[in-house]
Structure 1
């Protein structure tokens, strides 16, 4: 057993590319070794902006032998009565590359057949690994890749060197014009000379560490966080929590060095979001806050190189930020010279989408949709504020500040609204209608923001799909998936019992002047199908796929209601007696489907012939009374617990009663009984979608 070490050295790879590439290296190398029949231990990838490395501990020196079996024709066809091979046997042997005498016989479920057994002897690892590693590096995928002018090899950035070692012995791996060796390189400026490696992970990490490269992201993160804390403490505060920025900077440097700086205190008069955005998004600086979490006029920058004179570096960082903040102050002061209401007309000169018109038309449509939603949840008194919020929600898109900092849309509109003395709830809603943003947890603070946010996303989803644009597997230029997830998260967070179908129709009502790519009914169906897909993915993160499918099949028009049904179903599935219940309900649903709705009739007690069907009717009437109030209060867990008590009566009914009796009256009566049973759970979940089987019972021979 020996360690396998593979490193790809390159020009600085974009920070966002590195974590994904490292995960792919780990997965792909482990899979490739397994497929190559090379046993191995831990597979781990580490990396920095200039290198992607992966190792496999305790890699086998040789492949295991591979035994394969190929079955041919039945023995009766392969040999005649005298035991001589027939053309079928000869042809099979020829196709397998063996003599007919090598054919064996084996019993199979399909009878006795001829068989060829082959054994492929394992090769030495050093014979297998070069091609395997070449496929590994060529298989790495990046959002954008560069092609060398000398060959067709593509990579995130030009590859400069490679290391491939097995037990310290070099393997010859080629990628483009680069051939692997046994030397790596340290920090570009502090230790640029070649470093000979022994091939073990410990040697690799230690020698790079000595060369000012912390190759292991976990070690580098610990060093980064320590540096940030040290510099912030020296600046009199602590670093504002910002995990995305930490993750980004982590893959921008090989050895982090933090330097604290300051900016003019007068800039704290700007909205905090503006100052923070300038620092983090443009300069990758970390904001510093005081003990109460309030922004200070200090920051921490991270250098990729230890500097001889920190004062010089600090001066450079401060000078760049000073200019950026001066620009921000200029835009802020210029924006305040015009009221938000005076900017509404400007939206008419800004295109939202070529086929859907201007931002002004968009705002008007959002207002109408949001007003309809407010009425649907019984909040008629909010309609005026909803319309006002919708009018102002997109106005800051025409401000200088948002033009410079697009990530502040909504935030700046809210700030300007507060400065102008606009109603606080409306100002909050201007900002909140963009929430949630991505996977962030922040949700709208009030109904105004939630309703306008729903309307905005509904307009985009229905409008974009309506004009014929769609999200594909890899591309979603209009953010339809993000918009749909936002709709679902808002509905669930606020607990709105809204009809999705009605909301889609209300959005379509506002597109009366837009030329749709398909009939209105088709567009509505496409939108709801798209929502269904996102809902399935969202629920699939927490629940079994078959339960999700069962609930979706029963309907998802009211998303909040559907989620309650899903949680209730998950609860009852955890019961040990769930399998027989599910099997019984599946059978009820299947018989109903096969019989057709018109075959069932009202249940007549006079037509009940067997004790089993009389018992089922009695139990059914009891349960129907129990679940009435529970269903009205949407307590689906209690409904299902009550319905579950029907299982013994249903099981006995199927054992003792012939549902599809020849007598039409009896058949209709029994189908009517099953229809009433099915009605108890059909609108909660389609049990036919649930994977549940009764355990097989083996009877002893007697």
Structure 2
């Protein structure tokens, strides 16, 4: 079947937009062609510095004829309803069919040529393409990320004729701006298109460009006994900057290695798009860099390397100036500047936020037996580097530079580490803060973020989370779970420093209509973190109903909650667990039915009644034994033992329901058996709310 080849050739497309543009092109074209009734075998898109390309294999020459039956009003409906239906369908009354008193219209349409649909689709896609930023050029009305130069559009080897704002479709493309022959390339299909482009020094597929960069970069480094410092984000970016990427290894002044390696790497990456290089035999970076050029230089890249070295030296000289000047200023001056920096209009300045974090860090330090003095000192200094020159130039280094400056200023290593790490973790795969003081300050920072923005009603909705509160909550959860910090959420909030609550109260009153209540705010925090824990456990493969069953107990110790869920999942995966769950549900159904009639008997279950069935007596003793074993296991937080104790109820419960009639005609027997079922439910309810478990 025929093939469609589309290329939109323009001036340089920013690297950060290319892969998103490829996905948008695929989505927009496929949605429109599917809506028209077309199908195909394969659709692929490519994005590069100057072109977006789409190829579809197995596309039919035309859409199929279509026939659709549309249900209309009843035959007895008012005339106005019938007239509306006729206008909608474009038919007359005698063209409708009637079945069971209802009118139907059969709408038929002839198939359309694919070339006509493609021309319309390309026009619509180009005119409505969702670039993050776009521009208009010349006297036309068309908007695109950069001026469009030509549009290649072939179907079954022939040009699909159309014109968009004076740009006609054709079968022509261009090769590399500098390395190519300079001739226009006429192509016949995708294989010819890709082959000619590669001869003209254009790699169409970003994966091929990345592979070329990595292979040649590592070879250039290995030739001098060096290793490339991997950076996937930078690799993605430079692969979008060059159609024929050519890595070149350059040298830099070794004196710049006295700067923190993060400064050197970031200056290379952000300003120059260079890769850092290291010597495997030594620690730290090597006095080299790797730049990806878009040409193959006749001198092997020596002139390019020398020119880029001079530019890098200028950048690193600036960084060294910031580094030296910052050490002359220090933390007191930086903290003073924070008083003039607004954190949020309703939440005060950064200095006020630092005061809240400091108070909270001291409180958490006492709770976790980690030096309150060091925790408070680290928190007090944690945001100071935001006022430093280096972080002003490189915001990505916030925290990192504070850690370096604190160490140079003679602060305790634990304080320096906490300043460096207190933003962690920044995502689900980021590392956690190292050390007790770091853990405390990181928790205090994130808890203040959550309380502050919950106080002003900025809880995330849908996909909107402008203050990254979900990330902050996930950070709290990860720190508590992965550091085995047995710390309940309420134990954190119950002792929240009073001045902090006064600050949150003020923020609440500035943005909410209802009366402030610290209990209400703390409950919002607990609920928000519980919601994120639920999501985290689901992502780890735990059933949502098991999470809900454990949460229903009201426990707020995150470590204990997770262990309960894991033990419950393991128990229900056994035959004893599955069968006992069925018995629990049967008992609960009976009790619910009785509760609708009136109060259900409670109290001590009697044994030794006249004619009492053996299974009833056995279950009564089994429940008593299970209660003791469960309570003992829960006191020591041995949740596996608690599940084992419940497993002992499985056989007695099964026999009870097989051999005993609960709703006996004898009132004394009925009441005793209802009490027994209530005790079964209560004992199991100490471990989890089994009523919320599906099955």
Quickly name the TM-score band, shorter chain normalised: 0.7 to 0.9
Instruction: Indicate if the aligned counterparts of 1:462 and 1:508 stay in contact, CA closer than 8 A.
Output: no
Quick one: distance in 1 between partners of 2:497 and 2:140?
52
Deviation at 1:170, TM superposition (A): 2.9
Corresponding residue of 1:209: 198
Call closer, same or farther: CA 1:24–1:336 in 2, change over 3 Å. Answer: same
Corresponding residue of 1:109: none
Which residue of 291, 300, 321 maps to 2:312?
321
Corresponding residue of 1:515: 507
Which residue of 187, 190, 193 maps to 1:197?
187
Which residue of 466, 471, 475 maps to 1:486?
475
Corresponding residue of 2:413: 424
Can you list the C-alpha shifts for 1:362-405, whole angstroms capped at 9, x where unaligned? Answer: 2221122122223333x1x5212111111221222222222222
Deviation at 1:148, TM superposition (A): 5.9
Corresponding residue of 1:605: 606
Deviation at 1:40, TM superposition (A): 1.7
Deviation at 1:343, TM superposition (A): 4.6
Instruction: Indicate if the aligned counterparts of 2:488 and 2:556 stay in contact, CA closer than 8 A.
Output: yes
Are 1:527 and 2:517 matched, yes or no? Answer: no
Can you list the C-alpha shifts for 1:637-672, whole angstroms capped at 9, x where unaligned? Answer: 554465356456556666777878899987776555
Instruction: Indicate if the aligned counterparts of 1:366 and 1:456 stay in contact, CA closer than 8 A.
Output: yes
Corresponding residue of 1:397: 386
Instruction: Indicate if the aligned counterparts of 1:500 and 1:558 stay in contact, CA closer than 8 A.
Output: yes
Quick one: distance in 2 between partners of 1:425 and 1:188?
54
Corresponding residue of 2:559: 560
Structure 1 residue runs without a partner (length 5+) = 79-84, 107-111, 693-702
Which residue of 257, 273, 279 maps to 2:262?
273
Instruction: Indicate if the aligned counterparts of 1:163 and 1:180 stay in contact, CA closer than 8 A.
Output: yes
SS in 1 for 2:371: helix
Which residue of 127, 130, 133 maps to 2:119?
130
Deviation at 1:263, TM superposition (A): 1.5
Call closer, same or farther: CA 1:658–1:58 in 2, change over 3 Å. Answer: farther
Can you list the C-alpha shifts for 1:164-193, whole angstroms capped at 9, x where unaligned? Answer: 332223335666665543323322333354
Instruction: Indicate if the aligned counterparts of 2:360 and 2:497 stay in contact, CA closer than 8 A.
Output: no
Corresponding residue of 1:56: 56
Corresponding residue of 2:433: 444
Are 1:230 and 2:233 matched, yes or no? Answer: no
Instruction: Indicate if the aligned counterparts of 2:407 and 2:416 stay in contact, CA closer than 8 A.
Output: yes
Quick one: distance in 2 between partners of 1:145 and 1:662?
82
Can you list the C-alpha shifts for 1:318-357, whole angstroms capped at 9, x where unaligned? Answer: 1111111111111211222244356544433433333323
Quick one: distance in 2 between partners of 1:314 and 1:305?
13
Instruction: Indicate if the aligned counterparts of 2:626 and 2:645 stay in contact, CA closer than 8 A.
Output: yes
Which residue of 241, 246, 249 maps to 1:260?
249
Instruction: Indicate if the aligned counterparts of 1:171 and 1:180 stay in contact, CA closer than 8 A.
Output: yes
334-343 vs 642-651, greater mean Cα deviation: 642-651
Call closer, same or farther: CA 1:564–1:2 in 2, change over 3 Å. Answer: farther
Are 1:295 and 2:293 matched, yes or no? Answer: no
SS in 2 for 1:46: strand
Corresponding residue of 1:81: none
Call closer, same or farther: CA 1:232–1:683 in 2, change over 3 Å. Answer: farther
SS in 2 for 1:231: helix
Written as runs of structure 1 = structure 2, the 5 A alignment for 1:584-603 is: 584-586=583-585, 595=595, 599=600, 601-603=602-604
The normalised TM-score by structure 1 is: 0.83
Quick one: distance in 1 between partners of 2:136 and 2:570?
54
Deviation at 1:432, TM superposition (A): 1.3
Quick one: distance in 2 between partners of 1:284 and 1:538?
36
Corresponding residue of 2:17: 17
Which residue of 294, 298, 307 maps to 1:304?
294
SS in 1 for 2:188: coil
Quick one: distance in 1 between partners of 2:655 and 2:166?
75
Corresponding residue of 1:624: 627
Instruction: Indicate if the aligned counterparts of 1:26 and 1:45 stay in contact, CA closer than 8 A.
Output: yes
Can you list the C-alpha shifts for 1:254-295, whole angstroms capped at 9, x where unaligned? Answer: 221111112211111111111111111221111100114531
Instruction: Indicate if the aligned counterparts of 1:413 and 1:431 stay in contact, CA closer than 8 A.
Output: yes
Deviation at 1:539, TM superposition (A): 3.2
Instruction: Indicate if the aligned counterparts of 1:235 and 1:260 stay in contact, CA closer than 8 A.
Output: no
Corresponding residue of 2:344: 353
**Count of residues paired in the alignment:** 674
Structure 2 residue runs without a partner (length 5+) = none
Call closer, same or farther: CA 1:211–1:542 in 2, change over 3 Å. Answer: farther
Quick one: distance in 2 between partners of 1:193 and 1:684?
77
CA RMSD of superposed structures (Å): 3.9
Can you list the C-alpha shifts for 1:44-95, whole angstroms capped at 9, x where unaligned? Answer: 222113222232222233435556555689xxxx8xxxxxx87799969968
Can you list the C-alpha shifts for 1:193-218, whole angstroms capped at 9, x where unaligned? Answer: 43223233x33322222222211111
Deviation at 1:7, TM superposition (A): 2.7
Quick one: distance in 2 between partners of 1:548 and 1:204?
55
Call closer, same or farther: CA 1:641–1:205 in 2, change over 3 Å. Answer: farther
Deviation at 1:444, TM superposition (A): 0.9
Quick one: distance in 1 between partners of 2:144 and 2:647?
58
Call closer, same or farther: CA 1:618–1:247 in 2, change over 3 Å. Answer: farther
Instruction: Indicate if the aligned counterparts of 1:227 and 1:256 stay in contact, CA closer than 8 A.
Output: no
Quick one: distance in 2 between partners of 1:673 and 1:174?
83
Are 1:375 and 2:378 matched, yes or no? Answer: no
Corresponding residue of 1:699: none
Call closer, same or farther: CA 1:579–1:299 in 2, change over 3 Å. Answer: same
Instruction: Indicate if the aligned counterparts of 2:618 and 2:652 stay in contact, CA closer than 8 A.
Output: yes
Quick one: distance in 2 between partners of 1:22 and 1:372?
51
